[in-house]
Amino acid sequence: MPTYTSGLFYKQRLLTPGPTAVPEAVLLEMAQPIIHHRTKQFQAIFGDLSQRLQRLYRTAGPVLTIAGSGTTAFEAAAVSLIRPGSKAITVASGKFGERWQDIYDLFGVAQVRINVPWGDAVRPEQVADALRANPDASVVTMCHSETSTAAAADVRAVAEVVRRSDALLIVDGITSVGALPVEMDAWGIDALVTGSQKALMLPPGLGFVGLGERALQRLKDVQPHGYYNLDLRRWLKSWHEKDVPFTPPVSLVRGQRLALEMIEAQGLENVWARTARLAAGTRAAFQAMGLRLIASSPSDSVTGAFYPPGVEDSKFRAALRDKFGVHAAGGQDGRGAKWKGKIFRVSHMGYVDAGDTLAALSAIESELIELGQKIKPGTAVAAAAAVWGASVS
Amino acid sequence: MPTYTSGLFYKQRLLTPGPTAVPEAVLLEMAQPIIHHRTKQFQAIFGDLSQRLQRLYRTAGPVLTIAGSGTTAFEAAAVSLIRPGSKAITVASGKFGERWQDIYDLFGVAQVRINVPWGDAVRPEQVADALRANPDASVVTMCHSETSTAAAADVRAVAEVVRRSDALLIVDGITSVGALPVEMDAWGIDALVTGSQKALMLPPGLGFVGLGERALQRLKDVQPHGYYNLDLRRWLKSWHEKDVPFTPPVSLVRGQRLALEMIEAQGLENVWARTARLAAGTRAAFQAMGLRLIASSPSDSVTGAFYPPGVEDSKFRAALRDKFGVHAAGGQDGRGAKWKGKIFRVSHMGYVDAGDTLAALSAIESELIELGQKIKPGTAVAAAAAVWGASVS
């Protein structure tokens, strides 16, 4: 039996920026009997998934489905696309950008690091300057939406800069694909990575890598210095055969196919619009309660705020969870900042709607009042509803 | 694939006053393989359910589980407990009270009808007067919560009156048991009926009849003039053997057992308190939007309001459903009033919480604004949150 709170809030609402809630229909789809992966039946499912991923990514090129996390997928792209002996220009503006730097450190790749203050976004000129100063750089890595800081960068503008060089742009779209507008081909992103457990409404377990023309060309030239499983060429070869090189997580694959069908049935632009409106309502509600946002350049997939003095992170989030069933995320420590205990974050990705968001805002407000903050009850939900306006649908 | 809206509201929220939403854990429990009902395994489940029903009813007597709707259960109680040739005093203050009168009409039972204006509740003195004038009345029937009018009656006070006579009090608790405080033994209710699809968080399909001391005595004396399946003595005999006379809906029985375990884990008083607070928040929100409540004596299990001029029922509720995924109920026609097309109702029973209620209120407000009502966006949710106050949990 699951745990239910005994109060006004009753249901569990997973509003962490990954993993996120999985729709009931997808859970049931994943509960279907296991089929073997070397069958026409699986091939049809996998082929359909691959086509839907292309439409999701807005690309004519392959989008590879890799067993693992978003990190697995990013690592595969990073090690498969770097030219041996060349440099990587690596943008970090939070915990995840720093992780991508760590991966290149581990593989002994020389890096030109662009470290941006947490909460801010890289400026395209910074990347242009780095490319000019380092003509031997063969990749640029960046996060579209930096989950740890709830900030989004202008990938389109950066891609325009990178396209003028010989370097490839590898984008961490883990909390952007399916949440924020991303146009892989139109913007000229060379490699775009995401994971299943964010906006794609699946449990963790699948990573995805989209490859553009230039990336496909690069794959032909480069000997990967990663592990067997991280060699994108293996995955690409199988992909052309509507197949996978290694035994895939069959249940997740069929669940992901259905989740993408759900997204397409709603219309991807409608999903982007909802995510943006949930975020706008949440930002307004946080500000109406006197909270300071953590991002100067906020992402619409996740919203974060600093705690006011006197609010203790672990107690606050435990109360949200135990009294209201609302699961929010805390902060993380990294090289650029120590935000553990100082902030909390709420997701707008995937299977979450205005009702869940009103529940979270009401719970957050109530707990802040409980902890002595001077807030008039109803402030948060009214601020969100006012932003959403009459045409809330 | 289920239907999802493409807007800010995404999930389907069933806020009709029955059927109501069923918790995921209960759905999964009902998806367990079918077991045979003449087994120790089923007997253990059924025995546990029966004990939990007694705690739910606050009674030491039997609570019978009958395959069928709440109407089946009420009909069984009505025909099993009336003394042949005697009169029934039948209170009607809405569609369901009228239905119980119809049942006695069908069985040719003479009635003393107490017809109360829809939206109001019977006064105990009215019952006392009727009992004095009709000493040959052997039963009194009434609704605790009249679902069609969203009004609740003071069952405790009526029971006190009826206890002084030889008549038995048969209470329709279909939208009260598990939602409003009901103390079967302490209040002296002789027969208390409910259904599975309201506050008990199950799909439709089970009805329940609790029997007090006086009702058990009456059952020994009376030849039922109902059908085979409506003879409570058969059900009672089996109940003593932790058994059922006819093949029971095995899945529903095991689902109901779990749903009651969930209610007990939360604490029945906490469930009552949540229901009352959801209702209080909803009434405040409706009134803040300028809507007039349909009940002068409102029930906490369901709230209803009259439409303002210019709002067309079927269009309004279709918009709530199609644009917001919010399922509200309309009005019903009866002998006492014609409320079809004039009102709408929202439930607070069972697996529904403050988050769902905020979603419904936000949707209702938005659609009323869309239809030209002058309401400041955010009014409804702010009014509910203000009533709930800081200690919203």
* Residues B112 and B134 sit within 8 Å (Cβ to Cβ): yes
Nearest residue of chain A to residue B373 (CA atoms): A390
User: Across the interface, do B365 and A352 touch by the CB < 8 Å criterion?
Assistant: no
**Pairing relation of β-strands A145-146 and B168-172?**
unpaired
Residues paired with residue A298 on neighbouring β-strands, in sequence order: A151
Residue A79 is which amino acid? V
pLDDT at residue B6, as a whole number: 75
pLDDT at A270 over 60: yes
Nearest CB among B258, B324, B392 relative to A393 is that of B324
Alpha helices per DSSP H over B6-69: 24-30, 40-57
CA of B387 vs chain A CAs: smallest distance (Å):
8
pLDDT at residue B227, as a whole number: 59
Q: Is A275 on the interface with B (CB under 8 A)?
A: no
Provide the whole-model pTM: 0.89
pLDDT at residue A300, as a whole number: 98
* Residues A72 and A207 sit within 8 Å (Cβ to Cβ): yes
Q: Is A384 on the interface with B (CB under 8 A)?
A: yes
Q: How confident is the model at residue B2 (pLDDT cuts 50, 70, 90)?
A: low
pLDDT at B390 over 60: no
Q: Which residues of B touch A376 (CB under 8 A)?
A: 386
How many other CB atoms are found less than 10 A from the CB of residue B55? 13
pLDDT, tens digit, for every residue of B216-264? 999 998 876 655 678 898 889 999 988 888 889 999 999 999 999 999 9
Distance of CA A22 to the CA centre of its chain: 15
3 state DSSP class of B14? strand
Nearest residue of chain B to residue A276 (CA atoms): B8
Residue A290 is which amino acid? G
d(CA B157, CA B160): 5
* Residues A206 and A246 sit within 8 Å (Cβ to Cβ): no
Q: How confident is the model at residue A7 (pLDDT cuts 50, 70, 90)?
A: confident
pLDDT at A41 over 80: yes
Could you identify the residue written with the tokens 């995510």? A275
* Residues B150 and B345 sit within 8 Å (Cβ to Cβ): yes
Q: Which residues of B touch A362 (CB under 8 A)?
A: 354-355, 358, 385, 388, 392
Give the tokens for residue B156. Answer: 């405790």
Mean pLDDT of B353-357: 96
Say which residue, A84 or A272, is predicted with more confidence.
Answer: A272
Q: Is A300 on the interface with B (CB under 8 A)?
A: no
How many other CB atoms are found less than 10 A from the CB of residue B313? 16
Half-sphere exposure of residue A28, counting CA atoms within 13 Å on the CB side? Answer: 10
Q: Is A264 on the interface with B (CB under 8 A)?
A: no
Q: How confident is the model at residue A71 (pLDDT cuts 50, 70, 90)?
A: very high
Q: Is B42 on the interface with A (CB under 8 A)?
A: no
pLDDT at residue A160, as a whole number: 98
pLDDT at A68 over 60: yes
CA of A12 vs chain B CAs: smallest distance (Å):
10
d(CA B319, CA A125): 48
pLDDT at residue A392, as a whole number: 52
User: Across the interface, do B393 and A267 touch by the CB < 8 Å criterion?
Assistant: no
Burial B126-160 (b: 16+ CB within 10 A, else e): bbbebbeebeebbbbbbbbbbbbbbbbbebbbbbb
Nearest residue of chain B to residue A280 (CA atoms): B8
Give A182's DSSP letter: -
User: Across the interface, do B362 and A392 touch by the CB < 8 Å criterion?
Assistant: yes
SS3 track for A129-181: HHHHHCCCEEEEEEECEECCCCEECCHHHHHHHHHCCCCEEEEECCCCCCCCC
Which residues have CB under 8 Å from A346's CB, separation 6+? A15, A17, A282, A302, A303, A304, A328, A329, A357, A360, A364
Nearest CB among B25, B352, B381 relative to A358 is that of B381
**Mean pLDDT in chain B?**
94
Find the helix or strand (DSSP H, E) in which A56 lies: helix A40-57
pLDDT, tens digit, for every residue of B6-52? 788 889 999 999 999 999 999 999 999 999 988 999 999 999 999 99
Give the tokens for residue A5. Answer: 């709170």
Mean pLDDT of B146-163: 98
3 state DSSP class of A114? strand
pLDDT at A158 over 70: yes
Which residues have CB under 8 Å from A220's CB, separation 6+? none
pLDDT at residue A117, as a whole number: 98
User: Across the interface, do B258 and A356 touch by the CB < 8 Å criterion?
Assistant: no
Residues paired with residue B303 on neighbouring β-strands, in sequence order: B346
pLDDT, tens digit, for every residue of A90-142? 999 999 999 999 999 998 999 999 999 999 999 999 999 999 999 999 999 99
Q: Is B371 on the interface with A (CB under 8 A)?
A: no
Q: Is A381 on the interface with B (CB under 8 A)?
A: yes
pLDDT at residue A322, as a whole number: 92
Q: How confident is the model at residue B328 (pLDDT cuts 50, 70, 90)?
A: very high
Find the helix or strand (DSSP H, E) in which A196 lies: none
Q: List the single best residue of B3, B4, B358 to mutate versus A (max A Cβ within 10 A).
A: B358
pLDDT at residue B228, as a whole number: 66
pLDDT, tens digit, for every residue of B91-106? 999 999 999 999 999 9
Which residues have CB under 8 Å from B293's CB, separation 6+? B150, B283, B286, B287, B303, B304, B305, B306
pLDDT, tens digit, for every residue of A291-337? 999 999 999 999 999 999 999 999 999 999 999 999 999 999 999 99
Q: How confident is the model at residue B392 (pLDDT cuts 50, 70, 90)?
A: low
Q: Is B32 on the interface with A (CB under 8 A)?
A: no
Nearest CB among A13, A24, A377 relative to B389 is that of A377
Chains A, B: CB contacts under 8 A, how many?
A: 195
* Residues A346 and A286 sit within 8 Å (Cβ to Cβ): no
ipTM entry: 0.82
pLDDT at residue B225, as a whole number: 61
Residue A2 is which amino acid? P
Distances (CA, A) of A281 to A83, A346, A379: 44, 12, 12
Which residues have CB under 8 Å from B309's CB, separation 6+? none
Structural domains in chain B, sorted by start: 13-21+268-388 (3.90.1150.10), 24-265 (3.40.640.10)
User: Across the interface, do B354 and A370 touch by the CB < 8 Å criterion?
Assistant: no
Give the closest residue to A362 by CA, choosing from B291, B383, B288, B22: B383
pLDDT at B176 over 70: yes
Mean pLDDT of B347-375: 96
pLDDT at residue B45, as a whole number: 96
pLDDT, tens digit, for every residue of B89-145? 999 999 999 999 999 999 899 999 999 999 999 999 999 999 999 999 999 999 999
Give the closest residue to A252 by CA, choosing from A200, A203, A208: A203
User: Across the interface, do B358 and A370 touch by the CB < 8 Å criterion?
Assistant: no
Which residues have CB under 8 Å from A374's CB, separation 6+? none
pLDDT at B289 over 90: yes
| Omega within 30 of 0 (cis) for the link into A19 | yes
Q: Is B269 on the interface with A (CB under 8 A)?
A: no
Give the tokens for residue B168. Answer: 């038995």
pLDDT, tens digit, for every residue of B182-221? 999 999 999 999 999 999 999 999 999 999 999 999 999 8
CA of B287 vs chain A CAs: smallest distance (Å):
16
Q: Is B352 on the interface with A (CB under 8 A)?
A: yes
pLDDT at residue A227, as a whole number: 60
pLDDT at residue B230, as a whole number: 81
User: Across the interface, do B392 and A8 touch by the CB < 8 Å criterion?
Assistant: yes
SS3 track for B291-328: CCECCCCECCCEEEEECCCCCCHHHHHHHHHHHHCEEC
pLDDT at residue A234, as a whole number: 86
pLDDT at residue B111, as a whole number: 98
Q: List the single best residue of A24, A358, A388 to mutate versus B (max B Cβ within 10 A).
A: A358
Q: Is B9 on the interface with A (CB under 8 A)?
A: yes
CA of A202 vs chain B CAs: smallest distance (Å):
15
3 state DSSP class of B84? coil
pLDDT at residue A244, as a whole number: 85
* Residues B94 and B143 sit within 8 Å (Cβ to Cβ): yes
pLDDT, tens digit, for every residue of A331-363? 999 999 999 999 999 999 999 999 999 999 999
How many other CB atoms are found less than 10 A from the CB of residue B219? 17
d(CA A100, CA A103): 5
d(CA A188, CA A162): 9
Nearest CB among B24, B386, B393 relative to A24 is that of B24
Q: Is A157 on the interface with B (CB under 8 A)?
A: no
pLDDT at residue A246, as a whole number: 83
pLDDT at B271 over 80: yes
Mean pLDDT of A153-171: 98
Q: List the single best residue of A15, A353, A371 to mutate versus B (max B Cβ within 10 A).
A: A353
3 state DSSP class of A197? coil
Q: Is B265 on the interface with A (CB under 8 A)?
A: yes
Residues paired with residue B346 on neighbouring β-strands, in sequence order: B303
Q: List the single best residue of A11, A201, A369 to mutate versus B (max B Cβ within 10 A).
A: A11
Give the tokens for residue B356. Answer: 């769902």
Which residues have CB under 8 Å from B374's CB, separation 6+? none
Which residues have CB under 8 Å from A105's CB, separation 6+? A111
Nearest CB among B261, B378, B390 relative to A386 is that of B378
**Pairing relation of β-strands B87-92 and B110-115?**
parallel
Q: Is B379 on the interface with A (CB under 8 A)?
A: yes
Q: Is B263 on the interface with A (CB under 8 A)?
A: no
User: Across the interface, do A358 and B353 touch by the CB < 8 Å criterion?
Assistant: no
d(CA A301, CA A278): 9
* Residues A65 and A200 sit within 8 Å (Cβ to Cβ): no
| Omega within 30 of 0 (cis) for the link into A23 | no
Nearest residue of chain B to residue A6 (CA atoms): B266
